[in-house]
Amino acid sequence: MVSLRKLIRLLPLPALGLRQSEERRAGEIRMAMLNMLRLHGGHAVSRVAQRVQFADDLEALWYLRQDVMTALSDFDGEGAARRQMKQINSMFRGRLPDAMGPRAHRHIPS
C-alpha cells in the first residue's frame, strides 16, 4: 500500500512546497552527516562521504546512517558515534513513514 505522503511527493504540485521542503531537509541532513565525516580522514570515510553526497533523497540518507555511524565508530568509539548520530536521527523525525523510524529495543528476559 502506497502511503499518502509518498503519493503526494510524486505529484508535481510545486504550490504545496512539499517537494522543496523535503529537498531542503535532505540537504540539511546531508550537510550534517558530511560535517561529521569531515573531521576524519581515510579511504573508508571518503567512500561513505561520497555516498552521502550523492544520496538522492531522505530515504537514501536514512539508510546511510549506519554507514556513517560505523565510520565514526572507527575513530571515536561506538558510544561517541551513537551520541553524534542522535542529532542526525532527530532530523528525520516526521519525515519518513513510521515503518522506517527507529525501532524500540525490547529486553527479552533470560
Give tens-digit pLDDT for 30-79. 999 999 999 888 888 899 999 999 998 999 999 999 999 999 998 889 99
> Which pLDDT score, from 0 to 100, does residue 49 have?
95
Residue 4 burial by Cβ neighbours in a 10 Å radius (0-12, 13-18, 19+): exposed
pLDDT band at 16 (very low <50, low <70, confident <90, very high): low
Q: The domain containing residue 37 runs over which residues?
A: 21-93
> Which pLDDT score, from 0 to 100, does residue 110 have?
54
> Which pLDDT score, from 0 to 100, does residue 107 have?
55
> Which pLDDT score, from 0 to 100, does residue 103 have?
54
- Of 21-25, 57-61, 103-107, give the lowest mean pLDDT range: 103-107
In this structure, is residue 43 part of a structural domain? Answer: yes
For the entire predicted model, the pTM comes to 0.70
| Number of domains comprising the chain | 1
In this structure, is residue 86 part of a structural domain? Answer: yes
> Which pLDDT score, from 0 to 100, does residue 101 have?
54
